[in-house]
Amino acid sequence: MAQRNARWRYLAGALTTLAVALLAGCGPAENFKQSSLDPQSDFTRMIHSLFQVEYYLALVVFILVEGALVYVVLRFRGKPEDPEPEQVHGNTMIEVIWTAIPALILAALAVPTVKSIFRTYEVPQGDVLQVDVIGHQWWWEFRYPQHGLVTANELHVPTGRTVSLRMITQDVLHSFWLPKLAAKRDVFQQRTTTLWFTAEKEGLYPGQCTEFCGIQHGRMAFQVMADSPQGFEQYLATLKATAPAPAAAPAAVDSAKPTAAAGTTTATLGATTVVADTLAGAQLWMTKGCLGCHSLDATKPMGVGPNLAGIGTRKYIAAGWLENTDANLAKWIQHPQEVKHGVIMPDLGLTDAEAQTLAAYLRQH
C-alpha cells in the first residue's frame, strides 16, 4: 500500500512539473514579437481563421475519441478472477464508419485550405505598394521600384494599402518570414517568389530569415514599420532627400546636408563642434573604405553592403541584432567581426575615437 501511494505521489509530482513547464511557455500571443497567432493583416487573418477552424475541430475529435477511450478503459477493465473475454476479429461496419468520418472531415477541410493556399499566391493588382526584397548574407535589401528608392533591414509600409513583395536572393537561399503580417516564403536566386499583405495598425513588426544560410543565419532579422499613410509619405520624402542636390560638388557625399557640405561655421560653439565632427566623420567615411560598399543615398542601390540612408533613425542595426544606440553603432563599425563573425564587412582597424566620430556622422543620416 505504502509503495502504491509513493508511486501515485511520484506520478502526480511528475505531471505537475510537466504542466508548469508547459504553461510557462503560454501567454497572450500579442506578447510575443514573432507569433503567427496574433494576426495583424488581411493575409494573416485569413490563415489564422483557417487555423482556428482546424484547431477547434481537432479539439472536438480529441475530446470525443479520448473520452470514449477513457470510458471504455474504466468501465470494462478486467479483474484477476474474470474469465477470458470473447475474441473479436474485425467488424466491417465499425471500420467503414471510422474510415469514412475522418475522410469526410479531411475532404471538407481541404476546400478552404486549398482556396487559401491559392489566395496567398495571388499577385495583387491596382493601387499596391510594390516592394522588391533581396536576401543577402546576412541582411535584407528593400527597394521601392515605384519611387526609385532603396533601404535595408527596416521596411516602412503604409497601413491600409496592400504591399506586394517580389523576392529573390543575391547569394544563397534565404526564407522571408513576417509572422504577424504575412507568411513564410523561401527566396531563390533564379526564381521570384511573391507575398502580399495589408497592415491594419501602425507599429513595428519583426521578421526573420528562416532558412539556414550560413554562420549568421540566426542574426538575419528585419523589421517592418507600418506607418500611417501620411507618415509613410513623409518617410519616402526623407529617403528622397538623401540624394545629393543636382548642383552639388561631386566630392560632397552628403551635400543634401548643407552644414556638412559647405562646412559652414555657425555662431555658437556647440554647433561649430557638431560641424567639425561631421566633417571629420565625412572624411573618415570617404577614406576608410565605407564608401566602397555602402551608400548614404537612398536613390543609389549598391548591393554590396546595406544602403545606410536613414540609418540614424532606424531602430536596430546589424540586421536586427543590436539596438541602434551610439555605443552599439560605434562598436559595430569598429569590430564587425566580433559583433557578427563572418560578415563581409572587415575590421578596418579604427580607433575608438574614429569609430565614435563615424557613428556620430551616421547618426545624422
The string of DSSP letters for 17-46 reads HHHHHHHHT---GGGSTT-TTS--BHHHHH
User: Across the strands, what pairs with 158?
Assistant: 227
Minimum distance, C-beta of residue 286 to ligand CUA, in the bound complex (Å): 31
Rg (CA), the chain: 29
Give which of 348, 364, 350 is closest to 277, Cα–Cα.
Answer: 364
- Rule CB under 6 A: choose which of 133, 167, 213, 260 binds ligand CUA: 213
Cell, residue 266 = 555657425
CB of 154 to ligand CUA, least distance (A): 16
Residue with cell 528562416: 210
Q: Is 316 in the site for ligand CUA (CB under 6 A)?
A: no
Cis peptide bond prior to 138, omega within 30° of 0: yes
Size of the site for ligand CUA (CB under 6 A): 9
- Please report how close the Cβ of residue 222 comes to ligand CUA at its closest, in angstroms: 10
- Give the sign of the dihedral formed by CA 85, CA 89, CA 94, CA 99: positive
What Cα–Cα distance (Å) separates residue 143 from each residue in 38, 78, 134, 306?
Answer: 27, 71, 8, 11
Which residues in the chain belong to E strands, given as ranges?
129-136, 139-144, 149-152, 154-158, 162-169, 174-177, 184-187, 193-198, 203-209, 221-227, 316-317, 322-323
- Tell me the window of 34-42, 73-81, 204-212, 343-351 that interacts with ligand CUA (CB under 6 A): 204-212
Part of the chain binding ligand CUA (CB under 6 A), chosen from 5-13, 41-49, 116-124, 206-214: 206-214
**Smallest separation, CB 260 to ligand CUA (Å):** 35
Q: How far is the CB of 308 from ligand CUA (least distance, A)?
A: 20
Exposure on the CB side of residue 236, measured as CA atoms within 13 A: 18
Per CB under 6 A, the segment of 21-29, 158-166, 209-217, 248-256 that binds ligand CUA is 209-217
> Nearest approach, Cβ of 208 to ligand CUA (angstroms)?
8
Kindly state whether residue 318 participates in binding ligand CUA, applying the rule CB under 6 A: no
DSSP state of 217: G
Question: What is the distance between the alpha carbons of residues 219 and 138, in angstroms, rounded to a whole number?
Answer: 7
Shortest distance in whole angstroms from residue 213 CB to ligand CUA: 3
Q: Is 217 in the site for ligand CUA (CB under 6 A)?
A: yes
Does residue number 174 form part of the binding site for ligand CUA (CB under 6 A)? yes
> In the set 133, 209, 260, 284, which binds ligand CUA (CB under 6 A)?
209
CB 158 within 8 A of CB 227: yes
Asked if residue 355 binds ligand CUA (CB under 6 A), the reply is no
Q: Which of 167, 220, 282, 330 binds ligand CUA (CB under 6 A)?
A: 220
Site string for ligand CUA, 26-55 (x = CB under 6 A): ------------------------------
Residue span 119-158 as binding mask against ligand CUA, x where in contact by CB under 6 A, dash where not? ----------------x--x--------------------
- Three-state SS for 46-89 is HHHHHHHHHHHHHHHHHHHHHHHHHHHHHHCCCCCCCCCCCCCC
Q: Interface residues with ligand CUA (CB under 6 A)?
A: 135, 138, 174, 209, 211-213, 217, 220
